[in-house]
Structure 1
Amino acid sequence: MTPVVQLESVSRAFGRSRDAVAAVSDLDLAVPRGKFTTLLGPSGCGKTTTLRMIAGFVQPTSGRILLEGADATKTPPEKRNIGMVFQSYALFPHMTIIDNVAFGLRARGLAKTEVTARAGEALELVGLSALAGRKPGALSGGQQQRVALARAVAIRPSVLLLDEPLSNLDARLRVQMRAELRRVQRETGLTAILVTHDQDEALELSDHMVILNKGRLEQEGAPRDVFPRPASRFVADFLGYENFPVLPGHGPVAIRPEHVRLLSSGEPEDAGVTLEATVTNVTYQGSHCVVEVNANGLGDGTRLLCAHPGEAPRPGEAVRVLLPAAHLVTLGEDAEAAR
């Protein structure tokens, strides 16, 4: 099946040639049809530039962008049949909600009856039919974001682009809107691409997760494949592994704090690596304590974090730390180091 969006060796640099800064470098990417893809990474990794190139707002310095299998590299944004939801909502404050949703349909010259029907369907999809006659100023932030989503969906785009649309919402509303985004995408079957720096958001929403690092693709795949098997220290660090010891017989590995166990006296050891360690700090986190230790026998000692659910030891106490074999991730060479 032809990908809805395909990037072939796409690069984008900003600035004059001598002082140009590469935002995206030689990026190959295929966006699967009918799936939810996230572009994930820290600030400056190139994810927003990539989204803007797909939208047509930024031209690649080199490479090609294909939409529905056709070269669209130089196609203007208004001819790409792309829906976009911005971080700032970008609603017209003087228009009613229904008129905001209908704006793109009218711009396409559709008949009045079709405009009315499709705008109404889009508002019903996001649960805002009852507010059709209000103006954006009378709506909450979450409601305004749903109007922006309805407007983008109403034109029945080939691909829906979402540029960190939840970042202006409070934590509880962000969680609610994640579910809303996923529901709308599944019900419509749209191909969606979301830019985010939030790993939880990407893990919850993605069918296909793309992690970028300094303009290059670091790793991609389904969240259930990427999360337990990060391909590099960069990916592991970004996904919250936090512990990166170099173990005899294993080399550089990564392990998440919740997988590190403090063994009680006399407790048998499971398969894995057991280290003698000294507690250096304990932080109360409500459901658990984060216990920081320095492990012995690894050169100068290695700092490890353990999310411990029971009564925590005190700083200065000697403990045994188990790194279960099932949760040890052997790290490959970072893409950046390999270049």
Structure 2
Amino acid sequence: MNAAAQFESVTQVFGDFTAVDDIDLTIPAGKLTTLLGPSGCGKTTSLRMLAGYTRPTSGRILIDGVDATRMPPEKRGLGMVFQSYALFPHMTVAENVAYGLKLRGTGRKERDARVAESLQLVGLGHLAARKPRALSGGQQQRVALARAIAIRPKLLLLDEPLSNLDARLRVQMRAEIRRIQHETGLTVVLVTHDQDEALEMSDEMVLMRAGRIMQQGAPADVFSAPANRFVADFLGYENFVSTADGLVTVRPEHVVLVPGETSAAEGLALPGTVRDIAYRGVDILTTVEVPDGSEAILLRSHVRAEEAPRLTPGQAVTVTARPRHLIALTD
């Protein structure tokens, strides 16, 4: 795997708070990598260290194999798009996109060509003469993206770029960023707290917690085999059960409820009581209370309506799942 950037034993400490804790990370070239996790997990600090806005307390950051740990941001050849698009209100769209090129001394002819190319790529060539105030939020986001792309960066860094958009625009822009990444072959690093965004957009997903990397890999690999309870919980797994072999999780769509009591030669078979049934048109979400040692836990089964057994609250059932759907976890 060719590396566009690497973190080697990188730590960042602010006072008595460790924001990033001795991480090793490889950003593959030509891929879209997401740094995912809750607030305070260290993902934005990692991005800022990669961009050069924050210097690591210890460790090294390499860009294209070159030690960039002490290199200033303007020497790293990176493009960045923030949550706030930071467009200049007095400049036109074209002038905003050209700004980084002018700072780099790019000639007028090449500058105009790159601006036109970048605006065409984001679908805004027809708005080159507009001012930012005349654009929608989604269009402003595209201008910021075009400005970052125009300088032909080694890496494109995106810090929660979709968080200020409404739900419909976020979904649209996910697809647009993926399209642009595929068409250009850019290496992109995206910071997000949204697991759906990361799963949909990533080639490589890095899930962080308390400054450490919990798991890294292709989205399908991480989702199908979470390394621990934190990863499983963050990615939407809801059912956690203590067994003789340790903690396991199972997705609601893999839980089958059998009326009455039954046993299973293998897999999961737990006695329970139906507590709630939520009919949602094409599917049904059933919540079952199951004894778990000294206390009860709630497990959920999510199945298509036509495949669901006819159950009622208070009814005794057996919660079952096949062995291949049980995922062993560490705490």
Most deviating of 234-243 and 269-278: 269-278
1:300 corresponds to: 295
Quote the Cα distance in structure 2 between the aligned partners of 1:287 and 1:164. Answer: 33
1:9 corresponds to: 9
Match of 2:145 among 142, 145, 149: 149
2:325 corresponds to: 327
TM-score (norm 2): 0.94
Cα displacement (A) at 1:94: 0.9
CA RMSD, Structure 1 to Structure 2 (Å): 1.9
- 8 Å Cα contact 2:241/2:292 also seen in 1: no
Q: What are the residue-to-residue correspondences of 1:311-322 with 2, within 5 Å?
A: 313-322=311-320
Quote the Cα distance in structure 2 between the aligned partners of 1:99 and 1:269. Answer: 68
Most deviating of 231-240 and 261-270: 261-270
- 8 Å Cα contact 1:162/1:195 also seen in 2: yes
Choose between structure 1 and 2: higher strand proportion: 2
TM-score (norm 1): 0.92
Quote the Cα distance in structure 2 between the aligned partners of 1:148 and 1:270. Answer: 58
Cα displacement (A) at 1:242: 1.3
Cα displacement (A) at 1:300: 3.2
Matched, 1:108 2:104: yes
Q: Secondary structure in 1 aligned to 2:312?
A: coil
Cα displacement (A) at 1:251: 1.9
- 8 Å Cα contact 1:2/1:69 also seen in 2: no
- 8 Å Cα contact 2:6/2:62 also seen in 1: yes
Cα displacement (A) at 1:58: 0.7
2:134 corresponds to: 138
Match of 1:75 among 66, 71, 77: 71
Unaligned runs of 5+ in 2: none
1:254 corresponds to: 249
| Counterparts in 2 of 1:295 and 1:124: CA distance versus 1, 3 Å | same
Cα displacement (A) at 1:272: 2.4
Quote the Cα distance in structure 2 between the aligned partners of 1:325 and 1:100. Answer: 56
Aligned length: 328
Q: Secondary structure in 2 aligned to 1:5?
A: strand
Quote the Cα distance in structure 2 between the aligned partners of 1:70 and 1:2. Answer: 14
Q: What are the residue-to-residue correspondences of 1:1-339 with 2, within 5 Å?
A: 2-15=2-15, 20-248=16-244, 250-263=245-258, 272-296=267-291, 298-310=293-305, 313-332=311-330, 334=331
Most deviating of 304-313 and 3-12: 304-313
| Counterparts in 2 of 1:315 and 1:132: CA distance versus 1, 3 Å | same
Cα displacement (A) at 1:301: 3.4
- 8 Å Cα contact 1:247/1:298 also seen in 2: no
Quote the Cα distance in structure 1 between the aligned partners of 2:266 and 2:128. Answer: 60
Q: Write the letter of the residue equivalent to 1:280.
A: R
The ranges of structure 1 where at least 4 consecutive aligned residues each deviate by more than 6 angstroms after the TM superposition are 265-270
1:337 corresponds to: none
Quote the Cα distance in structure 2 between the aligned partners of 1:169 and 1:202. Answer: 16
Most deviating of 180-189 and 280-289: 280-289
Q: Percent identity?
A: 59
